[in-house]
Amino acid sequence: ETGVTQSPTHLIKTRGQQVTLRCSSQSGHNTVSWYQQALGQGPQFIFQYYREEENGRGNFPPRFSGLQFPNYSSELNVNALELDDSALYLCASSSAGSHNEQFFGPGTRLTVL
Amino acid sequence: KNQVEQSPQSLIILEGKNCTLQCNYTVSPFSNLRWYKQDTGRGPVSLTIMTFSENTKSNGRYTATLDADTKQSSLHITASQLSDSASYICVGGDSWGKLQFGAGTQVVVTP
């Protein structure tokens, strides 16, 4: 176990709805990264938060947004859900620094119908 | 554009045998090369992290190599076990801390 938790584990939504996914980082980590992993593919970087500020963003539209709280836990919000948003959403926590290991949570499986 | 390509896409090996997975990467500015193991429906778990100055790193039966000149890496699994069945993902890290993931190699170990 990495100490990184995510909730919920599974979620089913319909097209057009909004969803909030949550992540609690490992103790002592101030950086949280979010990834989207489609079936059979590697994770794709959505964005990263460092000390409550967005610190880099991948090629995802603005309807993907996030927050990081003072305790370094984080939320991923997706508005106007589309069918292609169905995926495993992973968060990873780490200390700041390019070489530092990222510890992944178990993921949230989102299905959009 | 940063890219990581892995081969083969999948492989089946007999328990007790060895195998080697390949990775070609284009990551700039390059900082490190990582290998992760991901069980189905679970988050990836780190196996090795190598900087550009390291040629090899081991973690138990897993040995990773890195050639920063040719931008290639490999992961060797020795004496495979049934629990090694998983997806193995090669990841290039840049100097800003951003990671570029490959699509993974699906390994199936059969009795």
Q: In this structure, what token pair is assigned to residue A85?
A: 């948003």
Tell me: pLDDT of B1 over 90: no
**Which SS3 state, helix, strand or coil, does residue B83 take?**
helix
Which token pair is B110?
């059969």
Tell me: the pLDDT tens digits for A30-59? 999 999 999 989 999 999 999 899 988 999
Q: How far is B80 from chain A (nearest CA, A)?
A: 22
By the CB < 8 Å criterion, does A111 face chain B? no
- B53 inside 8 A of chain A by CB: no
DSSP-derived secondary structure letter, A97: S
Q: How far apart are CA A7 and CA A41, in angstroms?
A: 22
Q: Does B61 touch chain A (CB under 8 A)?
A: no
Distances (CA, A) of A46 to A2, A55, B17: 21, 11, 38
Residue type, A85: D
CA distance A65 to chain B (A): 18
* Average pLDDT score over chain A: 93
Instruction: Tally Cβ neighbours within 10 Å of residue A58.
Output: 16
Q: Which two tokens stand for residue B101?
A: 């993931």
Q: Which string of b and e fits B58-68 if b means at least 16 CB within 10 Å?
A: eeeebbbbbeb
pLDDT at A3 over 90: no
Asked whether the predicted pLDDT for residue A85 surpasses 90, the reply is yes
Q: In this complex, do B46 and A56 lie within 8 Å of one another by their Cβ atoms?
A: no
Amino acid letter at B74?
S
Q: Is A2 on the interface with B (CB under 8 A)?
A: yes
pLDDT at B106 over 90: yes
Look at residue B102 and tell me whether its pLDDT is greater than 90.
Answer: yes
Q: Determine the distance in angstroms separating the CA of B13 from the nearest CA of chain A, rounded to an integer.
A: 20
**What's residue B94's pLDDT?**
87
**pLDDT-derived band at A98, boundaries 50, 70, 90:** low
Which range is least confidently modeled, A64-68, A76-80, B37-41? B37-41
Locus of tokens 């989102």: A110
Which three-class secondary structure state does DSSP give residue B78?
A: coil
| % residues pLDDT > 70 (chain B) | 100
Cβ–Cβ under 8 Å, residues A75 and A22: yes
* CB < 8 Å from B in window 24-43 of A: 31, 33, 35, 40-43
For residue B36, CA distances in Å to A42, A82, B91 come to: 11, 29, 8
Considering only A99-108, B6-15, B69-78, which range has the smallest mean pLDDT? A99-108
